[in-house]
């Protein structure tokens, strides 16, 4: 919905919102739940081929299976899962124990995850069409199976009866047991048959409505036509990329890349306004009734499950807990940033007055004048800066920072199977004890047929088994860096550097996890918490110390970025950040409010909210953002706030423990032990409070913006 935030729309549009989606991943798409339950078995199919070379000591991760092997493995996974569930279901009621109810399910889940991921991730990455197809097919089969497990009344009954005995078990085990129960109850298993049918019906209706909403947006082909003069300010290459009509008008679609270009670069206020209006009106007639029904169905579903409204249902197991708390959080930040935003705005207003005279300033002018002001305030040539970030320097630099920060050692592993020739694998050790902590693969470069977003996938989760065996985490980082015609890696743009740091944060988070249950791995933690380690790591990208370490000029890599540029990047990070944050908060509030109150009038809400948050600026005339806000429909419904939430707490952690930007090994190891190691097995708020030795605060986030203001 933010005009410059188009990547999301495209991504969401293509994924299938209906399905569980097995690959446990994070990044652009966020993590989707995976609640498999299985037991420890020897898996045959992948082992028969002795010519496979896996990671040392890590038999269950096989990354280059053939199409047939994938489908066979999927069938094996399913039949073994059925057997374990059948066994648990048949435990006599007077013999229920942790060992025969919880343990088999927990160990199955731990063991099975790696096998499932090996079946499912090739869908995103295999260079072979038939393997990708088999992988998609395997995913569907396993998906359907898992759903059926979560609906097994016989197993639910056993688990529930065992849970009600209140046996004394470890806190982590208790937490796991609650998750098991919840998996069933989220599917309505503790409801009467009639209510369960209603839940099912509502779930289908919600799927159907959200698909329709997104489909309407995807199919929207509205476009605008402009004469060349009306597009003054846009680069020639952009204009050349547009279709032209017979009378030489340029055809502008309402795809976000077209819209963003006009809003940032077009010198004519009238054009910006026309585009902004058309963009904000997309699918108005079609989608607003769909959204209204969708919100109602979600509320109804939440009420059947025992919540006051959908937002409380969505937030129940998150750090934020309740909608009231989220709204308070957003409103607090919004009011703390207002004064700074007004100062930022006056700069933009002055600029507009100079360029266009006394015309009123509208939201549609924001991007353009922010860009103009940044050009004047910062002497940054991002094309030139890119020449300083060859992958071959950035990657070892990131490794070095993480090694020094978290007390780990990273070493490449060679002579093992991969799915594409340029994929690399690394082992991670604890530098104190030399103990192997985990592995990760890097699949860094874009190629035909490859999944087109950056993310981190868990290929195996940490787990401890009752026989004393343990299993270590294996992560996979997928990035989209470019190679030139000759197959050489193109140096990274600065935003790509930041992105790589971010994703690598997820790798570290996953690998440092030491939870006994695979369910509590680094990537399956509370989503309000999940981005915090990565966002924390992003801070290092703006420290001169780091920038010098990871940069080197293309023609002479001994020359790092100069001090001046490093310092400017740090200031630039926060330029107009109050206005930018307020814009995000506006939409987070909109999302939160429509899901926390019955029968909200969307138009009325945005009309009031917009000027209130955006320091008096009204919503663009005639638009109703409710019609084209896919984030609030699929994937982030009632949880849009989560990104800014974790950013705020990451800023707090950085400021209070790592403030000078140099890797602080002591604090880093504390973070590893107190926060990353327990992962999802403990309440995220508790982990942070224990690490910070106080409750987390929003102050650093505000201070950072205020301190760097002009």
Ligand X SMILES: *[C@@H]1O[C@H](CO)[C@@H](O)[C@H](O)[C@H]1NC(C)=O
> At its nearest, how many Å lie between ligand X and the CB of residue 420?
6
> At its nearest, how many Å lie between ligand X and the CB of residue 532?
14
Q: Which does 666 bind (CB under 5 to 8 A by kind): ligand X, Zn ion, none?
A: none
Distances (CA, A) of 566 to 59, 544, 562, 569, 573: 45, 5, 7, 5, 11
Contact letters (x/-) for ligand X, 157-186, by CB under 6 A?
----------------------------x-
Distance CA 248, CA 243 (A): 9
- Catalytic residue IDs: 503
- From candidates 15, 190, 296, 377, binder to ligand X by CB under 6 A: 190
Q: Which does 418 bind (CB under 5 to 8 A by kind): ligand X, Zn ion, none?
A: ligand X
Residue with tokens 């059948």: 86
Q: Which does 37 bind (CB under 5 to 8 A by kind): ligand X, Zn ion, none?
A: none
Determine the size of the site formed for Zn ion (CB under 5 A).
2
> At its nearest, how many Å lie between ligand X and the CB of residue 659?
4
Nearer Cβ to ligand X, position 96 or 189?
A: 189
Give me the residue whose beta carbon is nearest to Zn ion. Answer: 534
- Binding segment toward Zn ion, per CB under 5 A, in 359-367, 390-398, 523-531, 560-568: 523-531
Distances (CA, A) of 183 to 114, 156, 158, 256, 302: 20, 9, 14, 37, 15
- Binding segment toward ligand X, per CB under 6 A, in 372-380, 419-427, 506-514, 521-529: 419-427
Other beta carbons within 10 angstroms of residue 340's beta carbon come to 21
Distance of CA 607 to the CA centre of its chain: 30
- Binding segment toward ligand X, per CB under 6 A, in 100-108, 413-421, 583-591, 610-618: 413-421
> At its nearest, how many Å lie between Zn ion and the CB of residue 478?
12
Binders of ligand X among residues 535 to 564 (CB under 6 A) are: 539
Q: Which helix (H) or strand (E) holds 686?
A: helix 684-692
- From candidates 245, 246, 558, 707, binder to ligand X by CB under 6 A: 707
* SS3 at position 234: coil
> At its nearest, how many Å lie between ligand X and the CB of residue 576?
16
> At its nearest, how many Å lie between ligand X and the CB of residue 421?
5
Residue with tokens 């919600």: 206
Distance CA 5, CA 26 (A): 18
Using the rule CB under 6 A, is 191 a contact of ligand X? yes
- Residue 287 in contact with residue 216, Cβ under 8 Å? yes
Distances (CA, A) of 412 to 358, 415, 473: 61, 10, 16
Nearer Cβ to Zn ion, position 21 or 534?
A: 534
SS (H, E, C) 383-451: HHHHCCCCHHHHHHHHHHHHHHHHCEEEEEECCCCCCCCCCEEEEEEECCCCCEEEEEEEEEECCCCCC
Using the rule CB under 6 A, is 198 a contact of ligand X? no
Residue with tokens 């990565």: 534
Nearer Cβ to ligand X, position 370 or 700?
A: 700
- From candidates 417, 597, 673, 683, binder to ligand X by CB under 6 A: 417
SS (H, E, C) 297-364: HHHHHHHHCCCCCHHHHHHCCCCCCCHHHHHHHHHHHHHHHHHHHHHHHHHHHHHHHHHHCCCCCCHH
- From candidates 22, 503, 700, 709, binder to ligand X by CB under 6 A: 700
Distances (CA, A) of 624 to 211, 298, 611, 679: 20, 21, 14, 40
Q: Which does 534 bind (CB under 5 to 8 A by kind): ligand X, Zn ion, none?
A: Zn ion
Catalogue the long-range contacts made by 167-171 (C-beta closer than 8 Å, 24 or more residues apart).
167/97, 167/98, 169/98, 169/102, 171/681, 171/682
Distance CA 261, CA 257 (A): 6
Nearer Cβ to Zn ion, position 627 or 646?
A: 646
Using the rule CB under 6 A, is 137 a contact of ligand X? no
- From candidates 41, 98, 420, 553, binder to ligand X by CB under 6 A: 420
Residue (of 360, 643, 386) closest to 495 by Cα position: 386
Using the rule CB under 6 A, is 703 a contact of ligand X? yes
Using the rule CB under 5 A, is 534 a contact of Zn ion? yes
Distance CA 81, CA 149 (A): 9
Using the rule CB under 5 A, is 112 a contact of Zn ion? no
Using the rule CB under 6 A, is 306 a contact of ligand X? yes
- Residue 430 in contact with residue 438, Cβ under 8 Å? no
Binders of Zn ion among residues 593 to 622 (CB under 5 A) are: none
* Phi and psi, residue 429, nearest 5°: -115, 155
- Binding segment toward ligand X, per CB under 6 A, in 77-85, 628-636, 681-689, 699-707: 699-707
> At its nearest, how many Å lie between ligand X and the CB of residue 198?
12
Residue (of 414, 424, 415) closest to 444 by Cα position: 424
Nearer Cβ to ligand X, position 629 or 701?
A: 701
* Six-digit token string for 190: 């503790």
> At its nearest, how many Å lie between ligand X and the CB of residue 567?
12
Using the rule CB under 6 A, is 404 a contact of ligand X? no
Distance CA 465, CA 467 (A): 5
- Binding segment toward Zn ion, per CB under 5 A, in 359-367, 525-533, 639-647, 693-701: 525-533
- From candidates 8, 15, 66, 698, binder to ligand X by CB under 6 A: 66
- From candidates 654, 663, 672, 681, binder to ligand X by CB under 6 A: 654
- Binding segment toward ligand X, per CB under 6 A, in 19-27, 39-47, 311-319, 416-424: 416-424
Q: Which does 69 bind (CB under 5 to 8 A by kind): ligand X, Zn ion, none?
A: none
Q: Which does 616 bind (CB under 5 to 8 A by kind): ligand X, Zn ion, none?
A: none
Using the rule CB under 6 A, is 697 a contact of ligand X? no
> At its nearest, how many Å lie between Zn ion and the CB of residue 250?
37
Nearer Cβ to ligand X, position 185 or 356?
A: 185
Other beta carbons within 10 angstroms of residue 486's beta carbon come to 5
Residue (of 546, 575, 577) closest to 654 by Cα position: 546
Provide CB contacts within 8 A for 587, sequence distance 6+: 1, 2, 625, 629, 631, 632, 640
Binding residues for ligand X (CB under 6 A): 64, 66, 185, 190-191, 306, 417-421, 539, 654-655, 659, 700, 703-704, 707
Binding residues for Zn ion (CB under 5 A): 531, 534
């Amino acid at each position: 919905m933010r005009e410059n935030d188009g990547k999301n729309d495209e991504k969401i549009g293509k994924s299938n919102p209906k399905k569980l989606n097995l690959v446990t991943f994070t990044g652009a798409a966020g993590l989707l739940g995976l609640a498999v339950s299985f037991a420890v078995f020897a898996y045959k199919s992948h082992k028969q081929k002795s010519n496979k070379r896996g990671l040392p000591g890590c038999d269950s991760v096989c990354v280059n299976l053939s199409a047939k092997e994938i489908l066979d493995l999927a069938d094996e996974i399913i039949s073994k899962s059925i057997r374990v569930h059948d066994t648990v279901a048949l435990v006599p009621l007077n013999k229920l124990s942790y060992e025969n109810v919880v343990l088999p399910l927990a160990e199955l889940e731990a063991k099975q995850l790696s096998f499932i991921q090996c079946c499912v991730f090739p869908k995103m990455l295999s260079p072979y069409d038939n393997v990708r197809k088999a992988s998609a097919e395997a995913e569907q089969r396993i998906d359907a199976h898992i759903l059926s497990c979560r609906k097994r009344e016989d197993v639910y009954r056993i688990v529930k009866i065992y849970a009600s005995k209140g046996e004394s078990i470890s806190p982590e085990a208790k937490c796991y047991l609650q998750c098991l129960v919840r998996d069933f109850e989220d599917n309505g298993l503790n409801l009467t048959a009639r209510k369960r049918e209603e839940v099912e019906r509502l779930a289908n209706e919600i799927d159907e409505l959200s698909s329709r909403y997104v489909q309407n947006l995807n199919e929207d082909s509205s476009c605008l036509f402009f004469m060349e003069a009306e597009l003054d300010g846009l680069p020639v290459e952009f204009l050349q990329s547009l279709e032209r009509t017979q009378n030489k008008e340029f055809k502008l679609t309402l795809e976000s890349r077209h819209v963003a270009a006009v809003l940032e670069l077009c010198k004519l206020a009238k054009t910006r306004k026309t585009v902004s209006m058309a963009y904000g009106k997309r699918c108005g007639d079609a989608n607003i009734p769909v959204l209204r029904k969708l919100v109602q169905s979600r509320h109804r579903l939440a009420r059947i499950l025992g919540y006051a409204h959908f937002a409380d249902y969505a937030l129940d197991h998150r750090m934020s807990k309740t909608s009231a708390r989220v709204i308070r959080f957003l409103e607090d930040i919004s009011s703390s940033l207002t004064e700074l935003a007004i100062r930022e705005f006056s700069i933009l207003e002055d600029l507009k007055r100079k360029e266009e005279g006394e015309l009123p300033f509208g939201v549609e002018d924001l991007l353009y004048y922010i860009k103009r002001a940044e050009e004047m305030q910062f002497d940054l040539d991002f094309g030139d800066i890119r020449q300083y970030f060859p992958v071959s320097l950035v990657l070892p630099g990131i490794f070095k920072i993480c090694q020094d920060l978290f007390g780990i050692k990273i070493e490449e592993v060679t002579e093992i199977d991969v799915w594409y020739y340029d994929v690399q694998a690394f082992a991670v050790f604890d530098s104190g004890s030399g103990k192997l902590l985990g592995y990760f693969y890097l699949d860094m470069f874009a190629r035909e047929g490859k999944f087109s977003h950056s993310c981190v996938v868990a290929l195996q989760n940490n787990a401890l088994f009752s026989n004393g065996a343990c299993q270590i985490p294996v992560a996979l980082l997928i990035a989209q860096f470019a190679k030139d015609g000759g197959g050489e890696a193109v140096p990274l743009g600065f935003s790509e550097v930041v992105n790589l740091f971010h994703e690598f944060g997820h790798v570290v988070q996953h690998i440092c996890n030491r939870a006994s249950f695979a369910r509590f791995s680094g990537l399956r933690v509370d989503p309000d918490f999940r981005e915090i380690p990565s966002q924390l790591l992003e801070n290092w990208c703006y420290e001169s110390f780091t920038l010098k370490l990871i940069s080197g000029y293309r023609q002479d890599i001994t020359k790092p970025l100069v001090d001046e540029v490093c310092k400017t990047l740090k200031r630039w990070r926060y330029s107009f950040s109050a206005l930018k944050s307020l814009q995000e908060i506006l939409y987070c509030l909109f999302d939160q409010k429509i899901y926390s109150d019955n029968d909200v009038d969307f138009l009325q809400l945005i009309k009031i909210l917009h000027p209130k948050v955006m320091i008096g600026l009204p919503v663009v005339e005639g638009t109703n953002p409710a019609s084209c806000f896919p984030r609030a429909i699929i994937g982030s419904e009632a949880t849009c706030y989560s990104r800014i939430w974790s950013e705020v707490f990451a800023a707090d952690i950085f400021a209070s423990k790592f403030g000078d930007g140099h890797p602080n090994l002591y604090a880093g190891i504390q973070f590893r032990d107190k926060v990353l190691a327990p992962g999802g097995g403990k309440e995220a708020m508790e982990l942070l409070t224990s690490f910070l030795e106080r409750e987390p605060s929003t102050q650093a986030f505000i201070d950072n913006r205020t301190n760097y203001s002009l």
